[in-house]
Amino acid sequence: MQGTFAHHLSEAAVSVELETEGMTLNIGPQHPSTHGVLRLVATVDGERATNVRPVIGYMHRGYEKLSEVRTYPQIITIINRIDWVSGFANEVPFVVAAERLMGVEAPPRAQWIRLVLTEMARISSHLVFMASYPLELGAATPLFFALRERERVLDLLESVTGGRFHPNFNRLGGVKPVYAAGPVTKKAGMDIPSGFLAETRDAMTKVLATCDEIENLVAGNEVFLARTKDVGIMPADIAASYGVSGPNLRASGVGFDLRKVSDYLPYGDFDFDVPVGRNGDCWDRWWVRLEEIRQSCRIITQAIDGLPSSPLQAKVPRIIKVPAGETYVRAENPKGEMGYHLVSMGGLGPYRLKIRSASFSNLSILPWILEEALVPDFIAIMGSLDFVLGDVDR
Amino acid sequence: MSLELTFWWLLAIKLAVAAAVVPVIGMVIGYAEMKLSAHMQSRVGPYFAGGRFGWAQLIADGVKFIQKEDIIPEEADRPVFKWAPALVMLGTMALLVIVPVHPSPRYGIVRDLEVGIFYALAISSVSTIGVLMAGWSSANKYSMIGGLRAAGQLIAYELPLVLATVGVVIQAGTMSMQGIVSAQVAQGWPFLLTQFIGFAIFMIATLAELTRLPFDMPIAESELVMGYVTEYSGFRFLFFFLAEFANMFSMSVIAATLFLGGYGLWGINPETLFSPIILFAKVGILIFLMIWLRWTLPRLREDQLQTLAWKWLIPIAIVNIIATAVLKVVL
């Protein structure tokens, strides 16, 4: 018992310095701004995070495995559900990969239609970003501006493909002919709907006008600037080392765009710029996407002015078998680089299909970029990376 | 028996009117917010619900809330959780007691306190306690962060709010609300013309006190789910919203009284029954401003909010007080 008092005294002296413990905050998988079912396990000290660990897999649907037991036309149906915000853009690199193994090339008109619809998917995906990002920062009104235009674009997509989100419009060797347009015959005359070109031209001017509106509403806003400028800075070398691609990489100052490099679609025939950011902060990522909408409008306008005439479908056998071989096709999707590594053993379906999805790699930088961030900045940074959980988990 | 009402009867009736005003005004402002946001954002419901003017939207929303189950989390501190919404509402109701709607000392105001503004600023902080109670008792981390954010925010913005009114008090030479209005009526112009800095600070601080955008960090749907109201449902949830709308009204009424001349308008005799209408029109303009801002601006970050209060609003308000005091003595 001796010394207890002294012991207590010394303990009291020590406990003057309070021991504090970080609070573990589970953000998600059910949370308004994790874009679906992402879970972040964050250790926060007040409002500042000391450690953030993303937990993914809540939406794993096993598309890579499913592809091994599906035929090629069936796979097209499931892969446009990977990144559902831009369903059409997911289909293209896969069909191009299969076509390359088969030694078939889609006719020019089909390729141009693919290109137009891919750009429309890009516009609609970026418009979703334009809608959701200010909303996550608390401004509700830009949502309605952006979604109104997105609806216009989706209507166009629907008029051609019959689907708003999941077009399932690509075929090996071309695109699906549309009956709805003219007289229902099974011969020639099946093409894109008759009013499509004029409507598209009209819609593109409206989308461009809305881009100006959104810029006026959001970009000049002091509060928005305060929330995004110099927040979540991603240096180019770090971004590249994590495999970040697409608008996120370009916002960091790397002018890398697969549309300029790869030839999966005839982008070489078009005149467009690749917008590049300077600081790699949230503001740049927002700005790059707004510019990309404008560039996509430019591409679409050029494409519908010079749409070549040819059949929509190349000659392919009735039952499609892809010769044995291996190929990798990568494409510039709205979220970033999307690649399909297709291995065929000559059967009705692929032997193995590896999907490299953009959001998965873009999300991998989260622990780095969210370290020492404030909780409100979590939202600003995650939103600016613009990932879709379906694209992360596949 | 004399027809003159005794003092206590009159007081009771006036209090009942003031208490009845709160939910009614809350609903009116709720409807206004719906309609205005619908016009700013092409929302469909408030245009067409019920046929014309979307009149049924508010009723539909109200019925929806009442139908819902009143859920209290198992871990929650039940009495605190239950009483928090009531306390939030109470602060608002108590504020209306000192608002003059007419120059008549007998019928124009519930109680003309000598320390009117002082009372107003003190009692408006009561709702903070309600918010803290809600955040603490919910047994939810998001609620907790929301409640603490609210407390920090309200402490920071109480100061500029108080300092902004000091200029008016110096000019009017009284703290009584009735006195401030009659000073403005007597000189023929509202204090807005000289105290415009004070007015701007007061309005910014008011937005922060009300935790409305761009200062709605305590709720911040995208970060904290719903902040301190995360665990509330049904009627208790509705209570927080009614209290917010009613609070908008009472803070606007005070702003209108202090800076816009209250019920007085140049060229109109304040002794007539136009006085309340004039006051409500001025309040309407202020509320429109708040709603407009809410649907335009994103929200600030917590540290930016504190920076704005401590580094900008408070120094500017102090400079404003010094300038007002010096000019008052010199002129």
What is the side-by-side order of every strand in the sheet holding A352-356?
Answer: A325-333, A336-344, A352-356
| For residue B225, pLDDT beyond 80 | no
Nearest to A391 by CA among A7, A87, A24: A87
Give the rounded percent of residues in chain A with a pLDDT score beyond 90: 10
Mean per-residue pLDDT for A293-305? 90
Report the distance separating Cα A388 and Cα A363, nearest Å: 10
- What was the pLDDT predicted at A190? 63
- Determine the residue type at B101: V
> Mind telling me how many Å the CA of B296 is from chain A's nearest CA?
6
Residues of chain B above pLDDT 90, percent: 2
With respect to residue B17, please indicate whether it lies within any of the assigned structural domains.
no
How many Å is the Cα radius of gyration of chain B? Answer: 20
Residue A20 lies in a domain: no
In a domain, B31, yes or no: no
pLDDT at residue B23, rounded to an integer: 79
Q: What is the pLDDT of residue A189?
A: 52
Instruction: List CB contacts (< 8 A) between A219 and chain B.
Output: none
Minimum mean pLDDT among A166-180, B190-204, B274-288: which range? A166-180
- Between residues A187 and B189, the one the model is more confident about: B189
Distance from the Cα of residue A300 to its chain's centroid: 19
> Any CB–CB contact under 8 A between B292 and chain A?
no
- In the predicted model, what is the mean pLDDT of residues A361-390? 85
CA distance B274 to A41: 60
Please check the confidence at residue B1 and state whether its pLDDT lies above 50: no
Task: Give how far A227 is from chain B: nearest CA, Å.
Answer: 7
Q: Which ipTM value was assigned to this complex?
A: 0.76
User: Poorest-confidence range of A73-82, B171-180, B268-277?
Assistant: B268-277
Give the mean model confidence (pLDDT) for residues B307-316: 88
- pLDDT for the residue A7: 54
Whether residue A1 is contained in a domain is answered as no
Q: How sure is the predictor about A6, in pLDDT bands with cuts at 50, 70 and 90?
A: low
Cβ of B298 within 8 Å of Cβ of A223? The answer is yes
Residue B212 confidence (pLDDT): 81
Whether A24 is covered by a domain: the verdict is no
Both tokens of A90, joined, read 């997911």
Domain count, chain B: 1
**Nearest-angstrom CA–CA distance, A205 and A293:** 12
Give the helix ranges, DSSP H, for B49-77: 56-67
In angstroms and rounded to an integer, the radius of gyration of the C-alpha atoms of chain A is: 24
**Three-class SS string for B84-121?**
HHHHHHHHHHHHHHHCCCCCCCCCCCCCCCCCHHHHHH
Q: Is residue A12 part of a domain?
A: no
Q: What is the CATH number of the domain that holds A372?
A: 1.10.645.10
Residues of B in contact with A224 (CB under 8 A): 298
Q: Is A138 on the interface with B (CB under 8 A)?
A: yes
Domain membership flag for residue A53: no
Q: What is the pLDDT of residues A35-61, one digit of tens each?
A: 778 888 888 887 788 888 888 888 888
The residues, any chain, with a CB within 8 Å of residue A121's CB and separated by 6 or more, are A86, A87, A88, A89, A157, A334
Q: What φ, ψ does residue B18 adopt, rounded to 5°?
A: -60, -40
The string of pLDDT tens digits covering residues A113-126 is 889 999 999 999 99
Does a structural domain hold residue B29?
A: no
How far is it, in rounded angstroms, from Cα B149 to Cα B228? 9
Q: Which chain B residues contact residue A25 at CB under 8 A?
A: 141
A377 interaction partners in chain B (CB closer than 8 Å) = 301
Range of the domain at A344: 62-393
Lowest-confidence range among A9-13, B9-13, B27-31? Answer: A9-13
- Any CB–CB contact under 8 A between B221 and chain A? yes
pLDDT of residue A8: 53
Task: Supply the pLDDT for residue B230.
Answer: 83
Q: Is the Cβ of A276 closer than 8 Å to some Cβ of chain B? A: no
Phi, psi angle pair for A306, to nearest 5°: -120, 35
Count the helices and strands in chain B (H runs, E runs). 14, 0
pLDDT at site A178: 61
Residue B312 belongs to domain spanning: 71-330
A13 pLDDT higher than 60: no
Query: What is the C-alpha to C-alpha distance for residues A276 and A202, in angstroms, rounded to an integer?
Result: 28
Mean pLDDT, chain B, rounded, equals: 82
Chain A contact for B297 (CB, 8 A cutoff):
yes
A148 touches chain B (CB under 8 A): yes
**What is the interface size between A and B, counted as CB pairs within 8 Å?**
74
Contacts of A378 in chain B (CB under 8 A): 223
pLDDT at A207 over 70: yes
Give tens-digit pLDDT for A145-192. Answer: 888 889 889 988 888 887 888 888 888 888 876 654 444 455 545 677
Ordered alpha helix ranges (H), B139-270:
141-172, 177-187, 196-209, 221-224, 234-259
Mutate to test the interface with A, among B39, B299, B302, B312 (most CBs of A within 10 A): B299
User: Number of structural domains, chain A?
Assistant: 1
Domain-located, residue B38: no
Average pLDDT over residues B269-283: 81
Whether the pLDDT of residue B305 is over 60: the answer is yes
Is residue A358 domain-resident?
yes
Compute the mean pLDDT over every residue in chain A, rounded to the nearest whole number: 84
pLDDT score for A255: 85
